[in-house]
Amino acid sequence: MRAIKLLSIFLLLTVSSMVFAYGGSGSYGTTCQKLRLMDIKPAHLSLVAVQSEFSFKLPAETAENSISVVVNKTPVSVVVKKLRNGYLVSGTLPASLYDKYVRVNVSTKSLSRCQGTSGWLLKILPIKP
């Protein structure tokens, strides 16, 4: 009877350690967190003029060289400024986009190589003749 209990405990320990090997929560694996955009300007669903500037902050865990911004499938060049507690990213909306809703997509990697994507919507006003 004692041998059966010892065998059962051994099997349970073996199975539980195999589960943690695949990224379970705990000190054995690393879990990726959702990308956090902070201080987004202009705010989600704001009305903006053509070629408006935008900015947002990213946490310090972000790998600076991995920051990428795309607006409606158009890559946008951005300026990344190092802050004490993260990064300030700024750029300008493409001139070709007007009188429509656009999505500002941000993708990055963390220092622990976790891929993250996030974004927000803006309404670009029509061009006045």
CA distances from 19 to 23, 28, 43, 87 (A): 8, 10, 41, 36
Give the SS3 label for residue 121. Answer: strand
Is the domain of 86 the same as that of 27?
no
Whether 120 maps to a domain, the answer reads: yes
Nearest to 35 by CA among 117, 114, 104, 96: 117
Q: Are residues 42 and 63 in the same domain?
A: yes
Pull the structure tokens for residue 127.
Answer: 């061009």
Q: Do the domain assignments include residue 65?
A: yes
Q: Is residue 129 part of a domain?
A: no
Is the pLDDT confidence value at 72 over 80? yes
| Residues 50 and 102 placed together within one structural domain of the fold | yes
Does one domain contain both 77 and 45?
A: yes
Q: Whole domain around residue 20: which residue ranges?
A: 1-31
- Do 43 and 102 belong together in one domain? yes
Distance CA 123, CA 129 (A): 19
Say whether both 65 and 119 belong to one domain. yes
Specify the pLDDT at position 68. Answer: 97
Rounded mean pLDDT of 3-17? 54
Residues 18 and 42 in one domain: no
In the predicted model, what is the mean pLDDT of the chain? Answer: 84
Same domain, residue pair 113 and 99? yes
pTM for the full predicted model: 0.74
> Under DSSP, is residue 5 helix (H, G, I), strand (E, B) or coil?
helix
| Number of domains making up the chain | 2
Instruction: Assess whether 81 and 45 both reside in one domain.
Output: yes
- Answer with the residue of higher pLDDT: 74 or 5: 74
Q: Are residues 25 and 54 in the same domain?
A: no
Task: Please name the residues in contact with 96: beta carbons below 8 A apart, sequence gap of 6 or more.
Answer: 74
- What radius of gyration, in Å, describes the C-alpha atoms of the chain? 23
Q: Is the pLDDT of residue 73 over 70?
A: yes
CB-based contacts of 112, cutoff 8 Å, min separation 6: 30, 32, 61
